[in-house]
Chains A and B, each alone.
Chain A
Amino acid sequence: MARSTIYAGLEIGTHKICVVVGEAKKDGSIKILGVGHAASRGVRKGEIVDFDKVQTCINDALVRAEDRSDVMIRNVYLGVTGAHVESINNRGCYRLPEDQLEITEDDVEESKEIARNVSIPQQNVFLHSVTRQYIVDGQEAVRQPIGREARTLEADYHIIHGVRGRVQNAIRCVREIPLEVEDVVFTPIAAAQVVLTREMKSQGSLMIDVGAGTADYVLYEDGMIAASGCVPLGGDHISNDIAMALQIPNGRAERLKVEEGSALFDDVDPDDMLRVEDDTGHLIGEAPRAFINEIIALRCQEIFELVKDRCEPWMGKLGAGVVLTGGCSLLKGIDSVAHEVFQIKVTRTGSAPVSGVTATFENPMFAAPIGLIRYAQILDSEKPFLSPLVRLSRKVSEMLGSIAM
């Protein structure tokens, strides 16, 4: 089924809106054909608050991407995030009929059906349901149960769900461009496909995509996705903290953070003063660098602590440590704050190398949109004969489960 296909991924971020066009080659490799991004307006904490502004920005990014890649984009894979996205693990147990010895495909379907049948809040919709593993007669971590002899079959599922209205709004916003949405993907899931290697996944690792509006995380344990979610805090909060502490405009604070900001304050000379200028370049004051750094460090620490709280059950099982990505991971010293919080190895990285525009995949800002391409490729390579509707819930899960190995 493998053939060269062109995919487009669209991520509507809080800071930037990014369209990536990529080509999935026959041999499974990916070539990035073009990237278009535009500063984002009308997005707060990963969620769209102003349709018109966002659509203008998407158009900008789209035109740039089309220009560079020389591809006409009609369908996109849309990355969504937001504090409303939650995940649960569920296990569906199915007992085989007495007269049957071997597990058949129907039985697997049945157990999946049971596993998927969890109660989520009424207004929520499933984004992904990923098979983590099968358990055959208590034997864990079975990948392929069909044909085995067993009495009970259990399917372990990781289910990601979000508020229907919010997901729908993002889709509607994109449809009005007009662009067709192929699939909706929870951003960190996409990012993890390019940031984490298979080995890291099997050793156990926690990827945190610290963006402007949200910090999204995915935790892999033993090759299986174990936890995922979104903390509604990000780089914007750091800027806001600085802006409020120094009484300067947000834009200025943002620049200060990017240019001078660091999360290390212990070794900074207390007398090292930082000039604070307003937008026109007039000096509006000076602030001790250490003070600003401490503000940043406090916020970063908080973000990581929130993630850690949610991943507590797996904390001892992360052999490959914590992987930071996303635009905010460029902040100086953020890895040492993360190390302080998690007490394990912390690496900062962008997407794994793919061919194409080097600057793109090296920048962690683009991990998620490139991940969307990879995700699309995985999605299509598995069961291409299923209708897109069924694919959303069913196929996604299977292939993610299989690549998780």
Chain B
Amino acid sequence: MVEFTRNPGTPQGAETLHSCIIGVGGAGLNVLDRITLDRTMEATLVAMHTDVRVLSHSMAPAKLQLGTDLMRGVGAGGDPDLGREAALFSREEIRKAVDGHQIVFLCVGLGGGSGSGAAPVVAEIAKSTGAMVLVVATVPFAFEGRRRIRQAEEALELLQKRADALVLFENDRMGELILPKDGIQKAFSSADQLISQCLRAVSTMVTTPGLVKLGLDDLTTALSSSEGRCLFGFGEARGQHRGAEALKRALKSPLIDQGRLLHHTKNLLVHVAGGEGLTLVEVEAIMKQVGRNVPDETQILFGVAVDPKLGESVAVTLISSLGADVPTRDAPRPSEPVSRPLTRAEADDLAPPASLRKPTPRPAETRRAAPPPAPEPEPEPELEEPENEQVEETPAAPPPLPQRSAPVEARQEPEPTPSPEVASTDLDLFGQETRAPARREPTPAASTFPDEVELPEPLEDAAEPEVIVEAQEEVVVIEEEVIAADIVEPIPETTAIPVTSRQPEREPEPEPEPPRASPTKPAPNRTLLSSVIQTNGAKAPSDDMFAAGEQDRGRFKDTEPSIVEGEDLDVPTWMRLKKKMKR
């Protein structure tokens, strides 16, 4: 019976399988590539993107260009509306691709144009065909700017309504935990890997008949706190202590933080899969160990499956989610400084000399630039403003230093401006430079300056050099716009902030004054202190101009200030007291 439903129409090949993985947008495609390369899942793989160039590099067997007529093969440029339009235009094709599958996995990197815009449409279409829809989404890095994050949130909201289950990965989290040790390539590829593992695990879990079955409903329960972060861990091991080892690996997952984050979960889904040699003792040991890592009140959703494909090995999957309030978003910032030097260093290999990056603008660029600028410029200034402090340093560097390489700019540029011209912004989420099938960045370099650049991953197919040059050129142009628009006013603000924040109350008073004055009037209400100290040396200046600053800290002026509740404790107590009384 099962056999029948699973392979009803073998002759038709891929179409006949019942699960389907769709990658939408750049990030989605990256994950899809990873899955394709791994060949671990039996599913139809469909790549969808608005940008025909990106699509052409995808390894997925089936590709679908969104909004062929509307977009003319160019990316959505970070505009979700365009992405949505494009997807709506290609409604029929999407339906055709999705139709006939019972489970549809949707991988998408939120925040960009194609991903955020098209994914909800795809999800809705998939839903309307009666399939279960499971979305695996990534949220952009914090440093990519408020706007992208907001776009991601909006898309997330739409997806939540349409998807049966939503697994959310935070780029910040992944970057934070992988980057310090490894190169950026590895960071991105391991992020992709993690997501593909997740997909594989979930699909195995949901599709294979289990001894103790877990269904989508269990998955939804495990992921119940939807705004929270997804905790996912996957481990596979073989050999003597395979059960313990697999669990250990699953707990090692950066998203679980050595199992520490499990202390905060309400629901935890544990799935143990193994070959036919899986023993009850092993499963019991694993579950026992899991039990130690979670609080008593956690609901453990447990599943076991025997999958002959696994052979000797045992695979453990942990899925859970964390409410948004759990203190984990402590370090979105650190990831940025780490990633930047890496990118630059890496990019240097790829980068053509900056002087070469200035081909004449192509007509295409003007065409592309034309429609979206309208919405673009207005939101930018005010949106960017709170971000300025961090964002500004990114664009600030390039203009005076033209040796900054093109790929770097291309990567970073989307953070400050989700600008219309950048062909495939979503890609940035997942590092196009990370793997052999690298797309946008390497490609321009290769095609534009084939003789000058040593490409780590040479791209054989000359994918429309025209378009590529144009894309690259656009990137440069935007860069300058951004700088012009942004940098002018924010700079004074940002510089002012650190100064004021240190000692807000004391700052305004410009005039330093010998602390000698203080004894004259340290405490108006105390008779004792109002008596003037009589010394020979100095005259007592008026205490109005009393400004506590560095000089008030006396011998501690070179030390690290000890600030408690806004007061610098190194400044004599009586001085501070006096100031308070004056106020």
A117 to B559, CA, bound (A): 33
A290 to B531, CA, bound (A): 10
Knowing A233-B562, A270-B528, the reply to whether A245 touches B535 (Cβ < 8 A) is: no
**Smallest CB gap from A84: residue in B:** B560
Chain B proximity of A397: nearest CB distance (Å): 20
Q: Please tell me if B570 contacts chain A, counting CB pairs below 8 Å.
A: yes
**Smallest CB gap from B554: residue in A:** A240
Whether the pair A265, B515 counts as a contact (CB closer than 8 A) is no
Whether the pair B529, A291 counts as a contact (CB closer than 8 A) is yes
Q: Please tell me if B309 contacts chain A, counting CB pairs below 8 Å.
A: no
Knowing A298-B577, A302-B569, the reply to whether A245 touches B518 (Cβ < 8 A) is: yes
A209 to B519, CA, bound (A): 29
For A240, A244, A288, A295, the residue with the greatest tally of chain B CB atoms inside 10 Å of its CB is A244
A59 to B182, CA, bound (A): 43
**Smallest CB gap from A288: residue in B:** B531
Binds A, one of B31-39, B46-54, B287-295: B287-295
A283 to B535, CA, bound (A): 9
Whether the pair A291, B531 counts as a contact (CB closer than 8 A) is yes
Chain A proximity of B552: nearest CB distance (Å): 7
Partner of A244, one of B288, B564, B569, B575: B575
Chain B proximity of A254: nearest CB distance (Å): 10
Whether the pair A288, B515 counts as a contact (CB closer than 8 A) is no
Residues of A within 8 A of B560 (CB): 45, 83
By the criterion of a CB under 8 Å from any partner CB, how many residues of chain A are at the interface?
43
Chain A proximity of B566: nearest CB distance (Å): 14
A276 to B533, CA, bound (A): 11
Chain A proximity of B265: nearest CB distance (Å): 15
Chain B proximity of A90: nearest CB distance (Å): 11
Bitwise, B531-547 to A at CB < 8 A (1) or not (0) is: 10111111000000000
Chain A proximity of B565: nearest CB distance (Å): 9
Q: Please tell me if A64 contacts chain B, counting CB pairs below 8 Å.
A: no
Whether the pair A240, B556 counts as a contact (CB closer than 8 A) is yes
Residues of A within 8 A of B526 (CB): 294
Whether the pair B529, A294 counts as a contact (CB closer than 8 A) is yes
A306 to B577, CA, bound (A): 15
Q: Please tell me if B296 contacts chain A, counting CB pairs below 8 Å.
A: yes
Partner of A95, one of B292, B522, B553: B292
Bitwise, A291-306 to B at CB < 8 A (1) or not (0) is: 1001100110110001
Bitwise, B417-456 to A at CB < 8 A (1) or not (0) is: 0000000000000000000000000000000000000000
Whether the pair A240, B569 counts as a contact (CB closer than 8 A) is no
Knowing A241-B574, A288-B528, the reply to whether A246 touches B535 (Cβ < 8 A) is: yes
Whether the pair A245, B260 counts as a contact (CB closer than 8 A) is no
A212 to B447, CA, bound (A): 68
Whether the pair B555, A290 counts as a contact (CB closer than 8 A) is no
**Smallest CB gap from A247: residue in B:** B516
Q: Please tell me if B504 contacts chain A, counting CB pairs below 8 Å.
A: no
A95 to B144, CA, bound (A): 43
Partner of A93, one of B295, B519, B556, B562: B295
Q: Please tell me if A72 contacts chain B, counting CB pairs below 8 Å.
A: no
Besides A233-B569, A287-B534, 7 more A-B contacts (Cβ < 8 Å) are: A83-B562, A232-B569, A237-B569, A286-B534, A291-B533, A294-B529, A298-B574
A selection of 20 A-B contacts at a CB cut-off of 8 Å is A45-B559, A83-B560, A94-B292, A97-B288, A114-B292, A240-B554, A245-B518, A245-B519, A247-B515, A247-B516, A250-B554, A270-B527, A284-B536, A285-B534, A287-B533, A288-B533, A291-B519, A291-B528, A295-B574, A298-B573
Binding site for A on B (CB under 8 A): 260, 288, 291-292, 295-296, 514-516, 518-519, 522, 526-529, 531, 533-538, 552-556, 559-560, 562, 564, 569-570, 572-575, 577
Binding site for B on A (CB under 8 A): 44-45, 49, 83, 93-95, 97, 110, 114, 117, 119, 232-233, 236-237, 240-241, 243-247, 250, 265, 270, 273, 276, 283-288, 290-291, 294-295, 298-299, 301-302, 306
